Amino acid sequence: MRDENCIFCRIANGEIPSATVYEDEWFRVILDMGPASKGHALILPKEHFKDVCDLDEVYASKVLLLGGRIGSAMKKTLGCTGFNLVQNNGESAGQTVFHFHLHVIPRYEDGEVMVAWRPGHAEAEELKEIAKQIKAGL
């Protein structure tokens, strides 16, 4: 289903023009208008899913393969040596457009570190307790 009020539904379905890298029956891949690095792309499903929890099996089974394909093409053509697949869910996680999208961010030698965190510390008992909490929600 599409949502007429959703900008990514409109871009994905070609109503609003975009710098398109790839298109098939399910997805349009466009360049991000505020790129974190040269070539930063967004994989947009043509149907509206608000986040990863909302995706159906068809889209979920295809999106990661497409991410790998786009990343490989970037390595061949842009001279990046790696790429990050980033996907934000919820405002607290940095999601700003509530139509599922997978970022493909090319990474260049000597480029800025963009996806990183400082490792914390947790005792084994604490990890077991947290694992139990999460399991209860599955």
- DSSP code of residue 121: -
Helix, strand, coil in percent for the chain, rounding step 5: 35, 20, 50
Which of 7, 58, 127, 131 forms a contact with ligand 5GP (CB under 6 A)? 7
Which of 9, 12, 18, 41 forms a contact with ligand 5GP (CB under 6 A)? 18
Q: What Å distances lie between residue 90 and 6, 14, 94, 95, 99, CA to CA?
A: 16, 26, 7, 5, 11
In this chain, which stretch among 16-24, 29-37, 93-101, 110-118 interacts with Zn ion, using CB under 5 A?
93-101
Distance of CA 97 to the CA centre of its chain: 11
Q: Is 40 part of the annotated catalytic residue set?
A: no
Say which of 40, 48, 101, 103 is annotated catalytic. 101
Which of 48, 101, 103, 107 forms a contact with Zn ion (CB under 5 A)? 48
Binding positions for ligand 5GP, rule: CB under 6 A: 7, 18, 30, 32-34, 42, 88, 94-97
